[in-house]
């Protein structure tokens, strides 16, 4: 359930009822008169024709807005957004096609209201893809239909059925089910409402898996020490041993023993022996120079 700062006062309720009563008294348009108004607006920008055309179908906006009243948003705001869609439909309507304006405008009105709901239902953006949008407006209905609403949670078979019904992935169904089951929560609120007792806020209770600044400094210093150890140990190797260690241990793309054997004109078994001997020489040089547990183990991998 979404929380909104809007409070529908008795005054606003009476104003809404007066507005709805007024628009419902607008006369319906015949097909010929409707086309005439649309042509006058399209060809001559006749504002009076536009007002008469759109005014006759504000009842369609009201009807569409009431279908979305259970999303926690003011009906008056939904009507305003629907009117935007109605005006967009009037700007794009082609009276020469064999389509009634009400049929054409219905799609624009619904799209405008749905977009408003998605933008304001939650602080977190919802329905960013076509699949998520379809699930947002249909998941509750399909969920209530399953087993006559006797289960609160969906089973894997239920999710699969809904995914096939809407043409979406099961993963999207799971994500939207979780999203719709939780409301927005401020991170600055103390759990349980114990503000007067000096409790920690939700933000203070969040766990961060990233390394702390001290851990980052320690890791940087450790890497620097390892680099110095390797550079010092390299002084104890001959040129061929250095080349093999560089290719086998210090390169982003490890070279095979067979490739190095071909390069130096020796067997791959001989390359392996030289590599192991070079590692032992480096390990001995490092452990002799520095009494550090890391120094004794970093070359053993």
Quickly tell me which residue has 């939780």 as its tokens.
Answer: 182
45: left (phi over 0), alpha (psi -120 to 50) or beta: left
Name the residue among 219, 222, 250 with its Cα closest to residue 234.
250
Instruction: Find, among 67, 58, 65, 72, the residue nearest to 29 by Cα.
Output: 58
The predicted pLDDT at position 150 comes to 64
7 phi-psi bin (left φ>0, alpha ψ -120 to 50, beta other): beta
For the chain, list residues with pLDDT below 70.
1-8, 123-125, 127-128, 147-152, 182-186, 192-198, 289-301
Q: How far is Cα 79 from Cα 63, in angstroms, rounded to an integer?
A: 9
Q: Identify the pLDDT of residue 183.
A: 65
- Two tokens at 125? 């953006």
Q: What is residue 300's DSSP assignment?
A: -
The per-residue pLDDT for 198 is 62
Summarised one tens digit per residue, pLDDT across range 2-48 is 444 455 677 777 887 888 888 888 888 899 999 999 999 999 999 99
Q: What is the pLDDT of residue 122?
A: 74
């Amino acid at each position: 359930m979404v929380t909104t700062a809007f409070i529908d006062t008795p005054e606003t309720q009476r104003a809404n009822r007066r507005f709805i009563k007024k628009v419902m008294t607008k006369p319906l348009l015949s097909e010929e008169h409707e086309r005439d108004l649309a042509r006058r607006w399209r060809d001559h920008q006749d504002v009076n024709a536009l007002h008469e055309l759109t005014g006759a179908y504000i009842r369609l906006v009201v009807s569409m807005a009431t279908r979305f009243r259970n999303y926690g948003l003011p009906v008056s705001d939904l009507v305003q957004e629907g009117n935007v869609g109605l005006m967009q439909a009037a700007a794009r309507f082609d009276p020469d096609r064999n389509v009634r304006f009400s049929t054409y405008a219905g799609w624009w009105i619904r799209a405008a209201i749905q977009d408003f709901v998605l933008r304001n239902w939650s602080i977190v953006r919802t329905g960013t893809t076509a699949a998520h949008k379809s699930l947002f407006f249909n998941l509750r209905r399909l969920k209530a239909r399953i087993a006559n609403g006797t289960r609160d949670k969906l089973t894997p078979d239920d999710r699969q059925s809904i995914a096939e019904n809407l043409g979406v992935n099961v993963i999207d169904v799971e994500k939207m089910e979780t999203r719709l089951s939780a409301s927005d929560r401020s991170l600055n609120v103390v759990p349980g409402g114990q503000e007067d007792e000096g409790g920690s806020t939700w933000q203070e209770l969040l766990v961060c898996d990233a390394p702390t600044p001290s851990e980052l400094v320690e890791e940087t210093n450790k890497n620097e020490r390892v680099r110095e150890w390797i550079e010092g140990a390299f002084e104890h190797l001959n040129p061929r041993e250095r080349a093999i260690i560089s290719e086998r241990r210090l390169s982003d793309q490890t070279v095979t023993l067979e490739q190095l054997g071909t390069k130096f004109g020796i067997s791959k078994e001989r390359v392996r022996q030289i590599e192991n001997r070079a590692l032992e020489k480096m390990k001995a040089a490092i452990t002799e120079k520095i009494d550090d547990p890391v120094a004794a183990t970093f070359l053993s991998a």
